[in-house]
Every structure is written in C-alpha cells, then in structure tokens.
Structure 1
Amino acid sequence: MSGWGSWFTGSEQPNAQGAASGTNFRAVTDEFDQGSLYGPLEPADLEWTCPTYISTETQTWYAVIEDGSFVTCQIIYSPIGIWNPQVQMTFKYSNPKTGKKVWKSVNVSKFKLQDDKRSCQSEIFTVTLKDAADGSQEFDINAKLDDEVQILISFVRPKEALGWKLGNGATGGMSFFGKQGDANAPVVKHRFWPYAKTKGLVVIGGQAIDCTGQGCFVQALQGMRPNLVAARWNFAWFQSPELDGTSALLMELTTTSDYGKVEASGKREPQVVTFGSVTCQGKLVSVVGATRSALQPDDSPSLHSGTRVMHLEKVLDPETGYQVPQSMKCTWDGAALIDGAAAPSTRVTGELVVPLGSPDQVNGLIDKVDILAEIPYVVRKVVNYVAGTKPYIYQTLNEVDLALCLPDALKDGSSEAGPLHVKGTLFEEHTFISE
C-alpha cells in the first residue's frame, strides 16, 4: 500500500493554497451513497497509467501461506520530473515461527507494459494478468531479484470473489485534492482484489518455500507527492480459511492540514477517509466506506457508517517521535451485497481488536520501516526533504478473532445466532508521515 519507494519534498501544491476556509478535498466516501459503494472492476481499471507528472503508482500483492508465513511483493513506479521514472520491486518474507525475515528492494530498468497495459516486465521480472473464460483472473509473478531470492507465485481470484473499487463509473475509487470543478485536481485512487488463492513458491537462499495460501491485491495511484496526500495511513487485511474463505480489508488515509472540507465550525478541517470490504465463503458480501473530521475526538462517530480504524492506548515511541497505538480496533459496517446487488437496509458488520503492545516490544512486529532510508539513490540526490519530517511504517502480523455479523441471506444455511467468530491472521500497517 504505502509505496516504500515513495519520496518526499516540502513544497505545497497550488491546489492547497488560498483561504483555509474553502473545501479543497473531495473524499471518495462522500461521492457515493451507501447503496452504491460497490463498483465492479472493468478491464481498464487494472491498467497501469504510468503518469509523467510527480506521483507514485503501485501494484502490491500480499499473502499468508499455509505455514503462517507472510509474503509480499510490490512494484513501484515513481516519475520525478525531467528524469526517467524510478521503478522498484520490493519483496518481504517473514516467518513468525522461525523468526526468519528477508527484505529486498531492487531498482529495475527496461520497465515496459505489455499490450494489455495490465501486465508488465523488466530485466528482472515478468508480471502477467490472465482472464479465464469462467470469470476468474490470475496474476503470475516471475522474478529473480538477486542470487538469493526468486519469486514464482500466482494469485488467483475466483469468479465469486469480486474485485472492486469504491463507487461505479469513471470516478469510482478516486478522491480529488482540489476544489469542485478543478479539472487538474490531483487524484488518489485504489482498486482491490480482497480475496485470492495463492500457489507457487519463492526460493530463498536455495530453499524452496511452498506459497499455497490466501492473498489479496491492491493497485493504487497517489497523484502528487506522498507527503502532501496524507499525514497518516492505516491498512488492515484479515484473512482466514474458515467459512470457506474469509477476508476483511480496510484502507484509511488522513489528509494533511492543507486539504480538507468545511465542517460545522465554518473552517476547513482535514479528513479521515476509510474504505474496505468483507468477503465470506469466498464471495464479496459488502463494500464499506465512511468519512470523519480528523480534528474530532477519536471516538466521535463517522459519517455514513461505523466503518473506521481506531488507535487505542497511544504512547510516545521515542525512536520515531510518534504517538503510536498499543492496540488497534477495526470496524466494518456496510450494506450487504446479495446476488451482486447492494441491500442498504441489510447490514454486514465486523469488528476486531489487535493488541500491539508497547513500542519497544511490539507484538507480531514484522518491521519498523524508516521510509527515507528506503528512497532510491537517484531520488535522494535530487529531492530536498521536509525539515523535521521522518516518516515511518509499522508492520505487524498477528492472530486475531473477527466478530462478523451477516444477514440470514448470506449465512449459507447456518442457523447460528449472533456474530460469527472467525479465527485468522491480521496483517496491518500504520504509517506516520507528518503532523
């Protein structure tokens, strides 16, 4: 999600200038009503755009495999003005049972798109998207990052496990950083496969690791410098083989103080935008979304639904200087999708809490990433960093329980009353960029 190769500079975008009382941010969660949040993915939605302006475009694949290990790989495309775009492939493997962790970040050359614009290749990788006649799709990833790591993984999306964007049509999945009617407003957009089956292997140090498991895929574009898009991000992905395949995903961004909308105070306030989905029995059963002011108390209600991420028991991490959560609560609340159509009066809800512990002993910590340390060398040479800004990503993997409430129409014959308690694994990232 985060685009570890993303880079930062302090100049303000023109769209952010002017009276602080004016709305200059349009959240995707405000653009579509609760009955219209599910937007089906069209073939063009998964095409690379490869913009020429300053931006960051990513494709990211996540997997939890049968032995409990976590695997992720990401392609990052970062135009930097008059210089050639910087393209990276990153890879991370973490086995919580053995403690083994492997992290790679490789700058690549000869990047090009294939004819469908959804598949791509470079001198070290080939990524191919295949459409099957039955409606399923498959990403095949073949990469040799160096002499230590080789990737041969497929992510297969069953036809019932629909991919989605938030809202239908040309603007589905997009938030705009600019005033209403501004045709040049920068855009942030997301597309998701929340549930996929994984197969294949990775080879690490000559050892082949079976990657049979469960995965998800996220395609994203940040249409301006990442430090101007958001002050904070949260990403949560719960997965479980129970209930014939369960996935619950949330993405949340908090805009900087330069961008927001006019609230009851009469002043422009930064916004928290949360969106995600629930998949159960291998089928997409709800797409969720909500908005709230970042200046309101953490426990204040969101607009549109109860969907949100909450940081609980926050304390200072002296290493990073940020107030970090010692536990985190994720809530899903959205209209049920029944036979592919939203039923706004019929709700799907879910909730989980993950105990993270103190900053010096974080439960399930995969990594604490100093983002500036991962910026490509060429970018470091041409970018002036924001004084005092030190962005960090905390990544954790923990076993948790998801309390899931489904309407009878989605219970597939189950007569169990009350919430279903699903045991699974939560991968989450909480990212601090500024403020």
Structure 2
Amino acid sequence: MFKWAQQQLANVAGTQEPIYGPSAIKSVASEAETTPYTELTRDDAKWEVMESTCVETQTFYFMAENGQLAFAQVIYSNVAGIRTTCQFNCKIFNLDGSAPHLWSSTPLSNYDFSEDKTGFYADDCAVELSEDGTTYTIKSMNDEQAIVNLTVKRVAPGFKAGKTGKTLFGEDFANPWGSMRHLFWPRCTAEGTITTKDGPIDFAGKAFFSHALQGMKPHHAAAKWNFCDFQGPTYSAILMQFTTPPSYGSTVVNVGVIAKDGEIIMGGCNSDAKHLETKSDSENDWPEPTTIKYSWAGSTKDGKPVEASIKGGLEEKLDRIDVMAEVPGFVKKIVAGAAGTKPYIYQYSPQKTKMSLELKIGDQEITEEGFVFSEATFISD
C-alpha cells in the first residue's frame, strides 16, 4: 500500500525522468558561440503565458542607497495546462540578523495581461512597462504588511544570451518539450517605497530585473542553481548558472553580463560559479557554500578581451528557504523519496567585508567594491 501511495504521489509531484543524455539539451551557449548576446527590445518584454507546464517570473531586486535589500516578484505557474496560478512575493531582508526578514507571499485573483502582453494585472496588483520600454512600475496592495509602490528604470541596455536566450530540451529541437530562458536588465535605478506596519521604507537606489521562463517542470530542468547580482558605483555584474539533472547529462549552462551606465561591456555564456569551500548542512546534507568565486569572460563590442571575477567568503547566510516547508513532514519524505527532490535555497549578502569586482578590459584593470546578493539552490542530486 505504501509503495502504491508513493507511486501515486510521484505521479503528481513528477518523478525523475529517464536518462536522455546531453544530446537532449541544446544550451543557449551554442547560439552564443556566434552571437554572444542580443540587446533586448520592447518585444522581448512580453509574457509568454504558456498553456503547458511552466513557471514564468518577473523579479525585481532592490539595493537601496540606505543599505536596504529587497525583491518583488510575480510568478505565473501552469501545471500541465490544468491549473494556472499567479502569486505576488515580496521580501525585505534584515541584513544584521536583529529581526526576522519580512516575507509576503499572496495568491493573486483575476489575473490578466495587457493586450501586447508586456503588462501584468490582478486584483490590487499591477506590473506595467512604459511605452518607451525603459521603466517598470510595480504596485501591490495585496498584503497590508507589504504595500509595494516601486519604479525601476534601466540605465543600461537589456540583455539575453545568444539570439533567443533559450536553452531547449527534447529530442527534436524544432519541437522541444521544454525550455529555459533568462532576460536581464543588469543595471537599473529604483525609486519608491514598500510600506510595512512600521511605515514606508525608501528603496531609492540601484536595481536589477530578471524575466525568467522555465517551460517545463522546474525540477526536470535544473538540479542546481547559482545566482550572483553585483551592483557597484560604476559597474553591474550578473551571473545565472544552472546544472541539469543526470537525465540531461548534468549539463551546466551559464549566462552572464557586465554593464555600466549606457552600455553592456560584455555578455554571453563564458561565465562560471564555483563553490571553493562548503560545509554540510546538518538538516539536509546539502554542501552549503561558504567561499565562492564567480567569473566572467568575453569581449567588448570592439573586440577588447574582458575578464572579471568576484571571490570571497559569503559570511553568515541571510536565509535558508525550505521550498517544501509548507508540505507536511511525512508528505515531504515521500516526495523526496519518490521524486528525488529536496529543494533548498541559500541566500547571501556579505556585509562585514564587502565584495569587489575585479575587472580587466583590454589592458585596463579595475577593482570596484559593491553590493552582492547571491543564491545557491539545491534541488536534487
């Protein structure tokens, strides 16, 4: 009976896939060999709103001049075309550990998109792109603990790796059964507030925007993630890395970009994230990183070689998120046993010793201290 129950739950949760091997994934890096990156147009800002299984997100990260760190996020998720849900998430980090982080996650009702699919609407929520394609406004009154009224304006071009930004999964890439895509606004300014029960918090400062689409079950696409968002006085550096499960050959896909006001310095798929030192998390056995190195390589538009890195200790983690925390314990064990998934997200932003971007453009060497927010996510072995 228990084995039958495990099997039924696995069917719902999504069992591990067969081993297709690396031939069943076409990394965006193959496009980046000839076209390292493409600057975004307003057309790229459209929500895909897939009718099959997917998770599509727009996430805005805020690094305020007053030292505050937060993000606001809209999630659109579709399970097998049967059930579609939308959620608005907001998190304000407490960086010194003196109080809990503020976390707000609200299901949205009556969601809709603008005619051109660049705007998202729901009851008491709107995320809109300006006509000139340079500014988003993010408003939510869904949770009185976190009333969001923010504006994000890009000050460097938007970016996608290769021509399409997409990694494809399947045995016929003309008709893939899955996809992964990231679009970035690597360097932005922000203004506005998030109002909590203690009053408004000003988020004037820097921001980063990511529009991500996982066009398949997320745990089938990726077993691990690394993410780095560096914002300095002059430069911004973004890195997103995922590693597929063994079903797709444990393939590593990197997307990275370095920008400054008005221009992308370099972008493409020659970036990397390395956990130089780790410690075992006693609760789940994941190797939590303690020292990391993020690196980027490429060239400027006029052909100058570019190399960059951020290296150092992550200090005490800001948070560890048990993605299945709201699932009862016994169900969690069954899901982990059946589907091989135990997703945890580790979040960091070193405060005692700020991290620096070491950047070399041609013969010019630059070191810039900045604000780093990073994540390491473990989903399955």
The reply to whether TM is greater than 0.5 is yes
Aligned positions of 1:62-211 closer than 5 A:
62-81=61-80, 83-97=82-96, 99-100=98-99, 101-132=101-132, 137-158=134-155, 161-168=156-163, 172-211=164-203
Moved more, 83-92 or 188-197: 83-92
Measure how far apart 1:180 and its partner are.
4.5
**1:40 aligned partner:** 39
Say whether residues 1:429 and 2:379 are aligned partners.
no
Measure how far apart 1:98 and its partner are.
7.1
Measure how far apart 1:181 and its partner are.
4.1
**1:328 aligned partner:** 292
* Distance in 1 (alpha carbons) for counterparts of 2:232 and 2:256: 16
Q: Which of these residues, 4, 9, 14, is aligned with residue 13 of structure 2?
A: 9
Q: Which of these residues, 317, 322, 335, is aligned with residue 385 of structure 1?
A: 335
* Distance in 1 (alpha carbons) for counterparts of 2:312 and 2:268: 20
Measure how far apart 1:108 and its partner are.
1.0
Q: CA 1:65–1:350 in 2, change beyond 3 Å: closer, same or farther?
A: same
Say whether residues 1:308 and 2:296 are aligned partners.
no
Say whether residues 1:403 and 2:358 are aligned partners.
yes
C-alpha distance after superposition, 1:7-35 (max 9, x if no partner)? x823345xx556x5x611111112331x5
Letter in 2 for 1:86: T
Measure how far apart 1:395 and its partner are.
0.6
C-alpha distance after superposition, 1:372-408 (max 9, x if no partner)? 1257x9xxx9xx8342531100011122111111236
* Distance in 1 (alpha carbons) for counterparts of 2:355 and 2:115: 42
Aligned positions of 1:260-409 closer than 5 A:
260=249, 270-290=250-270, 307-338=271-302, 343=303, 346-356=304-314, 363-373=315-325, 385-387=335-337, 389-398=341-350, 399-407=354-362
Q: Is the 8 A contact 2:53 2:81 kept in 1?
A: no
Q: Is the 8 A contact 2:52 2:81 kept in 1?
A: no
* Distance in 2 (alpha carbons) for counterparts of 1:81 and 1:331: 37
Aligned positions of 1:25-36 closer than 5 A:
25-33=25-33, 36=35
Measure how far apart 1:353 and its partner are.
1.0
* Distance in 1 (alpha carbons) for counterparts of 2:284 and 2:16: 24
Q: CA 1:67–1:385 in 2, change beyond 3 Å: closer, same or farther?
A: same
With normalisation by structure 1, the TM-score equals: 0.78
Letter in 1 for 2:374: E
Q: Is the 8 A contact 2:104 2:145 kept in 1?
A: no
Structure 1 vs Structure 2 CA RMSD: 2.2
C-alpha distance after superposition, 1:335-371 (max 9, x if no partner)? 1134xxxx2xx21111111302xxxxxx252210001
* Distance in 2 (alpha carbons) for counterparts of 1:221 and 1:400: 29
* Distance in 1 (alpha carbons) for counterparts of 2:185 and 2:209: 5
3-state secondary structure, aligned to 2:324: helix
Measure how far apart 1:419 and its partner are.
2.2
Q: CA 1:277–1:374 in 2, change beyond 3 Å: closer, same or farther?
A: farther
* Distance in 1 (alpha carbons) for counterparts of 2:85 and 2:200: 30
* Distance in 2 (alpha carbons) for counterparts of 1:130 and 1:430: 33
**1:251 aligned partner:** 240
3-state secondary structure, aligned to 1:96: coil
With normalisation by structure 2, the TM-score equals: 0.89
**1:230 aligned partner:** 222
3-state secondary structure, aligned to 1:319: coil
**2:6 aligned partner:** none
Measure how far apart 1:434 and its partner are.
0.4
3-state secondary structure, aligned to 2:171: coil
* Distance in 1 (alpha carbons) for counterparts of 2:81 and 2:239: 35
List runs of 5+ in structure 2 lacking aligned partners: 1-11
Q: Is the 8 A contact 1:9 1:225 kept in 2?
A: no
**Sequence identity (%):** 29
Moved more, 119-128 or 176-185: 176-185
3-state secondary structure, aligned to 2:220: helix
List runs of 5+ in structure 1 lacking aligned partners: 1-7, 261-269, 291-306, 357-362, 409-417
3-state secondary structure, aligned to 1:191: strand
**1:301 aligned partner:** none
- The number of residues matched between the two structures is 361
Q: Is the 8 A contact 1:315 1:323 kept in 2?
A: yes
Q: Is the 8 A contact 1:288 1:335 kept in 2?
A: no
Letter in 2 for 1:93: I
Q: Is the 8 A contact 2:88 2:108 kept in 1?
A: yes
Letter in 2 for 1:10: G
Measure how far apart 1:426 and its partner are.
0.7
3-state secondary structure, aligned to 1:183: coil
Measure how far apart 1:282 and its partner are.
4.7
Measure how far apart 1:41 and its partner are.
1.4
